[in-house]
C-alpha cells in the first residue's frame, strides 16, 4: 500500500503535581500516574494512525497544585496544541477552560471528581472522562443495597474533599434507600502520617474512635485526604465491613480487572510502564483514545472536525468496561460503569442489576439530567 500523507494531532497534558504522602506506602501515587495512561493511548492511536496517515503526540507539563496554569497554556497554544488533557484542581481547571474557550481549544478533565465542574461550574469546552464523586458513591451504594447492607455508619475527614465525598454518600443513601444511622468526623490534627511506633497507637485509637456508633451493617469512610481511612478496616469497634475510600472502594478502573478484554490493556500498560494501571491512568487513556477515535472516524486531524465529531450523536468509545461509553450531552460527563473492589480484586461493577433508567442504566450513577444545574456555555 502506498504510504499516506501524514497529518499530526498534537495533545497537551497539564498536570498539577506535588509529591504526595499516603498512609500506606503501597498507596503513594506513581510518579507518572495518569500521564502513563495517556502515553499508552498515544501509542495505540499511532498504531491505528499508521494505516491512515495520522500521527499523535503528547506534550506533558507539570505545575504546582496551587499555581497559575495560563502561562503553560500559552506555551502549548504556541506549539499548535489543540486538545488539552488536564489533571488539575477545580480552580485551575476553570481558569484553563475559560481561556481555552476563547482559543477554540477543548479540554479533557482526567483527574478532578468534583461534581460542581459538571453542575453549576460546567463548561461547554470541557469533557470529563473522570467520574464524579456522586457517580462513585452511587456505584458503591447500589452494591451495598444489592447486598442488603442498608444501615450505614459514616466517618469522614475534616478536609473539604472528604466532606464532599461524605455528601455524595449521604445523597446516595437517600437515593437508593439506605439509612445513615450514625456519623462522626475524624479531625486532622496534623500528625505525621507514618511513624515507627504508629501502628501500636492506631490499633488502640481506631476501636475507640468507632466506639459508640449506632448499630450498623457497614461502616463508610470518606477520607480522600489520607488522614485515617486506611487505618479503619479490621480495627473497628464492631466487627463490620468497611467501604468508601478504604476497604471496598468504588473506582473508574481496577488494576486487577480482566473482564471485557481488560487483560489486553492491562498487559499493554504493564509492558509499557512496568506497573499496574490505576483509575487516573484509565481516565487519561480514555481521553486520548477519544481524540484518536474521532480522528480515525473523521479521517481528519482538524481540531474543529474532531471536536464536532465528539459532540455528535454518533460518538461512542470502547474502554474495556463491557459496553460502549457515551457522553452526557447536558454536561459532557462520560457515562461509565464503576468498579467496586478491594485492594486485590474486583468485587463487582455497577450499575447493579435492577437499577433501571428510562434512557441509560449508566445514568443511575451520579447526578441525572432532571437534577442538573449545568447550563453549558
How many CB atoms lie under 10 A from the CB of residue 133? 25
Strands 218-222 and 242-244: parallel
Helix, strand or coil for residue 107? strand
The 104-143 contact track toward other proteins, x by CB under 8 A, reads ----------------------------------------
Is residue 99 near other proteins by the rule CB under 8 A?
no
- Nearest residue (CB) to other proteins, 261 versus 354: 261
Is residue 150 near other proteins by the rule CB under 8 A?
no
What is the strand order of the sheet 333-334 is part of?
A: 54-63, 7-16, 83-87, 106-109, 126-128, 333-334, 327-328
User: Any residues with CB less than 8 A from the CB of 341 and at least 6 apart, and which?
Assistant: 248, 249, 251, 254, 256, 257, 347, 348
Region of residue 18 (left: phi > 0; alpha: psi -120 to 50; beta: else) = beta
Half-sphere exposure of residue 103, counting CA atoms within 13 Å on the CB side?
20
State the nearest-atom distance from the C-beta of 149 to other proteins, in Å.
26
State the nearest-atom distance from the C-beta of 322 to other proteins, in Å.
8
State the nearest-atom distance from the C-beta of 361 to other proteins, in Å.
7
Is residue 281 near other proteins by the rule CB under 8 A?
no
Stretch that binds other proteins, among 47-55, 66-74, 85-93, 153-161 (CB under 8 A): 47-55
Residues 292-311 that bind other proteins (CB under 8 A): 293, 296-297
Beta strands in 35-162 (DSSP E): 54-63, 83-87, 106-109, 126-128, 151-157
Is residue 323 near other proteins by the rule CB under 8 A?
yes
Stretch that binds other proteins, among 60-68, 131-139, 223-231, 317-325 (CB under 8 A): 317-325
For binding to other proteins (CB under 8 A), which residues are involved?
1, 44, 47-48, 51-52, 261, 264, 267-268, 271, 289, 293, 296-297, 316-318, 323-324, 360-361
Amino acid at each position: 500500500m502506498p504510504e499516506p500523507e501524514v497529518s499530526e494531532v498534537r495533545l497537551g497534558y497539564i498536570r498539577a503535581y506535588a509529591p504526595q504522602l499516603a498512609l500506606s506506602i503501597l498507596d503513594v501515587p506513581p510518579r507518572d500516574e495518569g500521564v502513563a495512561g495517556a502515553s499508552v493511548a498515544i501509542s495505540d492511536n499511532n498504531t491505528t494512525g499508521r494505516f491512515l496517515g495520522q500521527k499523535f503526540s503528547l506534550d506533558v507539563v507539570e505545575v504546582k497544585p496551587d499555581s497559575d496554569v495560563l502561562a503553560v497554556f500559552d506555551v502549548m497554544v504556541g506549539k499548535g496544541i489543540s486538545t488539552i488533557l488536564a489533571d488539575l484542581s477545580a480552580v485551575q481547571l476553570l481558569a484553563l477552560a475559560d481561556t481555552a474557550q476563547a482559543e477554540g481549544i477543548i479540554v479533557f478533565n482526567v483527574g478532578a471528581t468534583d461534581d460542581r465542574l459538571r453542575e453549576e461550574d460546567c463548561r461547554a469546552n470541557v469533557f470529563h472522562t473522570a467520574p464524579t464523586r456522586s457517580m462513585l458513591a452511587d456505584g458503591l451504594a447500589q452494591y451495598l443495597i444489592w447486598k442488603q447492607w442498608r444501615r450505614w455508619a459514616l466517618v469522614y475527614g475534616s478536609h473539604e474533599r472528604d466532606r464532599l465525598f461524605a455528601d455524595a454518600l449521604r445523597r446516595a443513601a437517600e437515593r437508593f434507600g439506605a439509612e445513615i444511622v450514625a456519623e462522626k468526623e475524624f479531625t486532622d490534627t496534623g500528625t505525621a502520617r507514618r511513624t515507627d511506633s504508629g501502628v501500636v497507637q492506631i490499633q488502640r485509637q481506631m476501636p475507640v474512635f468507632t466506639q459508640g456508633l449506632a448499630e450498623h451493617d457497614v461502616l463508610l469512610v470518606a477520607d480522600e485526604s489520607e488522614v485515617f481511612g486506611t487505618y479503619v478496616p479490621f480495627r473497628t469497634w464492631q466487627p463490620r465491613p468497611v467501604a468508601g475510600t478504604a476497604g471496598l472502594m468504588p473506582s473508574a478502573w481496577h488494576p486487577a480487572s480482566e473482564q471485557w478484554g481488560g487483560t489486553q490493556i492491562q498487559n499493554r500498560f504493564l509492558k509499557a510502564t512496568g506497573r499496574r494501571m490505576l483509575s487516573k491512568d484509565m481516565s487519561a487513556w480514555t481521553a486520548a483514545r477519544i481524540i484518536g477515535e474521532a480522528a480515525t472516524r473523521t479521517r481528519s486531524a482538524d481540531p474543529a472536525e474532531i471536536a464536532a465529531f465528539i459532540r455528535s450523536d454518533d460518538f461512542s468509545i470502547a474502554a474495556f468496561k463491557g459496553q460502549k461509553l457515551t457522553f452526557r450531552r447536558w454536561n459532557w460527563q462520560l457515562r461509565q460503569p464503576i468498579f467496586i473492589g478491594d485492594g486485590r480484586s474486583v468485587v463487582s461493577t455497577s450499575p447493579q442489576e435492577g437499577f433501571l433508567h428510562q434512557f441509560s442504566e449508566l445514568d443511575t450513577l451520579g447526578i441525572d439530567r432532571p437534577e442538573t444545574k449545568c447550563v453549558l456555555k
